[in-house]
Homo-oligomer: A and B are copies of this chain.
Amino acid sequence: MLSERRLEVLRAIVQDYVGTEEPVGSKALTERHRLGVSPATVRNDMAVLEEEGYIAQPHTSAGRIPTDKGYRLFVDKLAGVKPLSVAERRAIQNFLDGAVDLDDVVGRTVRLLAQLTRQVAVVQYPSLTRSSVRHVELLSLAPARIMLVLITDTGRVEQRLIDCVAPVGETVLADLRARLNSRVVGRRFTDVPPLVQDLPESFEADDRPAVAGVLATLLETLVEEKEERIMLGGAANLTRFNHDFPLTIRPVLEALEEQMVLLKLLGEATDSTMTVRIGHENFHEGLNSTSVVAVGYGSGDEAVAKLGVVGPTRMDYPGTMGAVRAVARYVGQILAES
């Protein structure tokens, strides 16, 4: 276990490095922080911290920079979550309150988060799989063509076209619509399949193929993984670090274009605890010098989706975590209201 003062030194190093973006030496440290000891002492502490793998020097006779392990310790033990100012909170609320539909909510959120943290923001659309059905509508567009519209409790709307082999009567459709809704409204998506399984049986033989088609499409829509859409914003913020990033920015941009990578990035946890993944803790090469701060958000207790930011490992963790958490909370509120 490291002594109190050595932890203090590590904290100071992280803070200074995040601020100046330059390796920090023993002398500068004592000048900018009231450590109460001399540079020589700090040097000894630094030697220990380096031996333990918390900091490193880019080359001999340069200052130290934190390693991933160092940031990890900093985040876990040394840093709190910096709460936002009242003004900032108010600004968030005002900004999000103007949203008109789900797309707009997500769009505003991503811009807000990017602006607040000055980093790349990532917001996942409320996932279908964890939400429930508000309404199912069936429209007859043409005699043998039906449109299925699914409305979720998070305000999301999905629609699918269904082509039937034979025309379907208006009355049959109305019947199906009524029965379907009485069974599935308010239900979790995952609970729906068994509830509708026997529906075709209660229809005339002639209509069963059409009914089965509608059900198949509905179930397909419910499980559809591809619908885990994601919105991205603030990519321009990547260039803020370009003085040492010209090589790194490329793979990051590439990674960010892959939906799959983004989804994994936000993590799998379904609760609302914040996850911070630092540097090499990210599975994906090219994101090895970036950190991800993500948290779940949702209209109720349970998270229905995640949002977060991607930035250099050298980021202001307390501030970023504070912003991410605050935004997640407000988005949750907005969703609950709508």
Contacts and interface: CB of A to CB of B under 8 A. Distances in A.
Interface of A: 100-101, 103, 134-135, 137, 139, 141, 147, 149, 151, 157, 159-161, 229, 233-236, 238-239, 242, 246, 249-250, 253-254, 256-257, 338
22 contacts: A101-B159, A101-B160, A134-B141, A135-B139, A135-B141, A135-B147, A137-B137, A137-B149, A139-B151, A149-B149, A149-B159, A151-B159, A235-B253, A235-B257, A236-B250, A236-B253, A236-B254, A236-B256, A239-B249, A239-B253, A242-B249, A242-B250
A243 to B, nearest CB: 9
Contacts of A160: 100-101
A188 B198 CA distance: 42
Contact of A257 (B100, B236, B246, B250): B236
Nearest to A234: B257
A180 to B, nearest CB: 13
Contacts of A253: 235-236, 238-239
Contacts of A147: 135, 151
A236 B232 CA distance: 14
A125 to B, nearest CB: 11
A250 B254 contact: no
Contacts of A101: 159-160
Nearest to A138: B137
A149 B150 CA distance: 11
A86 to B, nearest CB: 28
Nearest to A137: B139
A134 B139 CA distance: 12
A87 B10 CA distance: 58
B250 A233 contact: no
A258 to B, nearest CB: 10
B235 A239 contact: no
A309 to B, nearest CB: 15
Nearest to A224: B100
A257 B151 CA distance: 30
A57 to B, nearest CB: 26
Nearest to A240: B250
A135 B239 CA distance: 46
Contacts of A103: 229
Given A103-B229, A151-B159, 11 more contacts: A101-B160, A135-B141, A135-B147, A137-B149, A139-B151, A236-B257, A238-B253, A239-B250, A242-B246, A242-B249, A242-B250
Contact of A246 (B233, B246, B256, B338): B246
**Nearest 6 Cβ contacts at the A-B interface:** A236-B253, A239-B250, A236-B254, A157-B159, A137-B139, A235-B253
Contacts of A229: 103
Contacts of A149: 137, 139, 149, 157, 159
Contacts of A239: 249-250, 253
